[in-house]
A and B are shown apart, each in its own frame.
Chain A
Amino acid sequence: MITDVAMDKPSSNHWEFVQNLLHDLQAEEDREQIAYLFGQWRLSIKAFRRVEAHRMNLTPPTELDVLFHRACVTDLISFGTLIEIAARGHDPAELSNHGVKLEFVIAIIQDLQNTLDEWHAQVSSAKLEGLRDRIFNATPELNLTNTRA
């Protein structure tokens, strides 16, 4: 439970750690550091996608798989958002020289956000069931391909 005392603290205190981190990221001499972090982030996403393919797509995921998946995807979104904030503090042309473009970062974050929705969106079972029925039990006049067993 959040106490009144905690709530009265200026928000700048709460965000001090993050602000310091962002200050480091936004330092002019740290463009290469942003590029490095961007590369590390992409590598982490690749590793995540490989595990996701095997644990979430090949077979039905376990309850623990779903929890790990949520923890990883939210961390990746969070890290990417910090990179986006840092990138916004730099000249786009200079950042581009290091292989980082804001549009890349935003698109990757959007892809991760879609992944979060795919597995963790708050949708009732009844609504999902009804929707799946409408999608996969469609009438023949709709354009259908790839009939499944």
Chain B
Amino acid sequence: MPRPNLISQIHELKYELRRSRLKVSEIPRLQADFDDLVQQACEEYHCSKAELLKAIAPDFGKWVKDERLPVIEKDL
């Protein structure tokens, strides 16, 4: 199944937010960017934020595999 670029970008920001080595000072900017992209997707697909987030949540794990990214850093 095709994945729109906008959804990939949302996944990418979510992945950034999940990095365990993420500095706390980076979180507000990443969170704001994430919300901006989600808002953009909501307008494109005419849905609420909760609906959009729930619709794409199961695709996040597939995206991580597609991008061959580590599931999570092992520095915890």
Determine whether the beta carbon of A104 is less than 8 Å from that of B28.
yes
The answer to whether B8 and A119 have CB atoms under 8 Å apart is: no
User: Across the interface, which residues of B come within 8 angstroms of A108, CB to CB?
Assistant: 27, 31
Contact partner, A148, options B1, B17, B38, B53, Cβ 8 Å = B1
User: Is the Cβ of A144 less than 8 Å from the Cβ of B4?
Assistant: yes
Q: Is the interface of A mostly helix, strand, loop or mixed?
A: helix
Mark each residue of chain A from 31 to 55: 1 if its CB lies under 8 Å from any CB of chain B, else 0.
0000000000010001101100110
How many A-B pairs fall under 8 Å by CB?
116
| Interface SS of chain B | helix
- Total interface residues in chain B, CB < 8 Å: 43
A122 CA to B31 CA, complexed, in Å: 23
Choose among B3, B25, B51, B76 the residue that contacts A128 (Cβ–Cβ < 8 A): B51
How many angstroms between the C-alpha atoms of A46 and B38 in the bound complex? 23
Closest to A132 in B: B55
Query: Chain A residues with Cβ under 8 A from B49's Cβ?
Result: 114, 117
**Which of A50, A60, A117 contacts B58, CB < 8 Å?**
A60
A128 to B47, CA, bound (A): 10
Q: Which of B1, B28, B55, B64 is most buried by chain A, counting CB atoms within 10 A of its CB?
A: B55
A18 contacts the other chain (Cβ, under 8 Å)?
no
